[in-house]
Amino acid sequence: MSVDVLERPEAATDDERVFVMLTVAGQTCGVPVASVRDILGEQAITRIPLAPPEIAGSLNLRGRIVTAVDLRRRLNLPPPPEGQKPMSVVAEHGGELYALLVDQVSEVMSLPADDFERNPPTLEPAWAAFSTGIYRLQDRLLVVLDVSKLLALSGEA
C-alpha cells in the first residue's frame, strides 16, 4: 500500500503549517508535509548486519533502497504490541531516502503558525531531543518531529 503524497494540501503559508499526523507509542506526532515523500503500509524489511539498533533494515521502494529507521527504538520507547505492523513515512535526508517506522499514519493537518509553541519543560527528554516544538490540540498534544535530528544517526545533527 502506498499513499500518494501529491494528494496533500498545498504547502504551508506564513499563517499555517501542514503536517502528516502519525502515532508512535500512543503519542501523536507531526512531520512537516514538505519532508514526506511517501507513506507506505507494511513492507518487507531486510535486516542489515551490524547496523545500529534503531536501523530496522532496508526496503525497496520502486527500485530504490531505503533505510528503515525504527522510531520506537530511536526514541528509546518500548516495542510495539505483538502483531502490530508498522507503517512507513518516507523522508529524504542528505540525498538519501529513509523510512520512519511508525505505529500509524492518520491524516494531513494544517495548523495555525501562531499556535506553535516551544517544547515545554515537562516534555519527556526522549521526545524533546527530536522535537522542534508542540501544538496543543483540543484533546491531545502534538509533538512536531525534527526529521533531520531523527535521521542524524551518527551524531551529525
Q: Residue 2 carries which side chain, given as an amino acid letter? A: S
Is the model's pLDDT at 134 over the cut of 90? Answer: yes
- What is the residue-wise DSSP string for 49-103? TT--TTEEEEEEETTEEEEEEEHHHHTT-PPPPTTPPPEEEEEEETTEEEEEEES
What percentage of the chain carries pLDDT values higher than 70?
89
Distances from the Cα of 116 to the Cα of 32, 104, 149, angstroms: 13, 23, 19
CB atoms within 10 A of CB 30: 24
Q: List, for residues 95-129, the tens digit of each pLDDT value.
A: 889 999 999 999 999 999 999 999 999 999 989 99
Across residues 68-87, what is the average pLDDT?
92
Cα end-to-end distance, the chain, whole Å: 32
Q: List, for residues 13-49, the tens digit of each pLDDT value.
A: 678 999 999 999 999 999 999 999 999 999 999 999 9
CB atoms within 10 A of CB 111: 18
Give residue limits of the domains in the chain.
2-151
Mean pLDDT of the chain: 88
Residue with cell 530511536: 74
Nearest one of 79, 43, 34, 69 to 152, comparing CA atoms: 69
Across residues 80-100, what is the average pLDDT?
91
Task: Specify the pLDDT at position 49.
Answer: 92
Nearest one of 4, 34, 29, 5 to 17, comparing CA atoms: 34
Domain 2-151, CATH 3.50.50.60 — does that match? no
Q: Residue 80 carries which side chain, given as an amino acid letter? A: P
